[in-house]
């Protein structure tokens, strides 16, 4: 299954997604950590995603990149589609 990411923003988000596990494990460099939190502050999608990952960790004890299933990524991208549809232009700045 091929996922279509409509906006340039999604590329940024995909990077953020890949940083989530490192972030939660405290494995990010300071710069990356700050960049990630900055992104989170502006991005509802990634905030929601992080919340999902945290919930997963609270159940399983930890999360590895392998735990980020295609289903989770699919749900994540689905969230974006909805936000883009509902809230376009809301968050400019």
Contact residues for Zn ion, defined by CB under 5 A: 13, 16, 43, 45-46
- Decide whether 16 or 28 has the Cβ nearer to Zn ion: 16
How many Å apart are CA 3 and CA 31, to the nearest integer?
A: 29
How many Å apart are CA 53 and CA 48, to the nearest integer?
A: 9
- Decide whether 56 or 84 has the Cβ nearer to Zn ion: 84
**Is there a contact between 16 and 40 (Cβ–Cβ < 8 Å)?**
yes
- Decide whether 6 or 59 has the Cβ nearer to Zn ion: 6
CB of 28 to Zn ion, least distance (A): 15
């Amino acid at each position: 299954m091929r996922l279509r990411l409509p906006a340039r923003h999604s590329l940024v988000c995909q990077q953020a997604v890949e940083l989530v596990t490192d972030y939660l494990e405290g494995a990010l460099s300071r710069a990356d950590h700050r960049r990630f939190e900055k992104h989170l502050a502006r991005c509802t999608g990634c905030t929601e995603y992080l919340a999902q990952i945290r919930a997963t960790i609270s159940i399983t004890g930890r999360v590895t990149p392998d735990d980020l299933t295609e289903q989770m990524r699919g749900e994540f991208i689905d969230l974006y589609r909805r936000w883009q549809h509902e809230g376009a232009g809301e968050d400019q700045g």
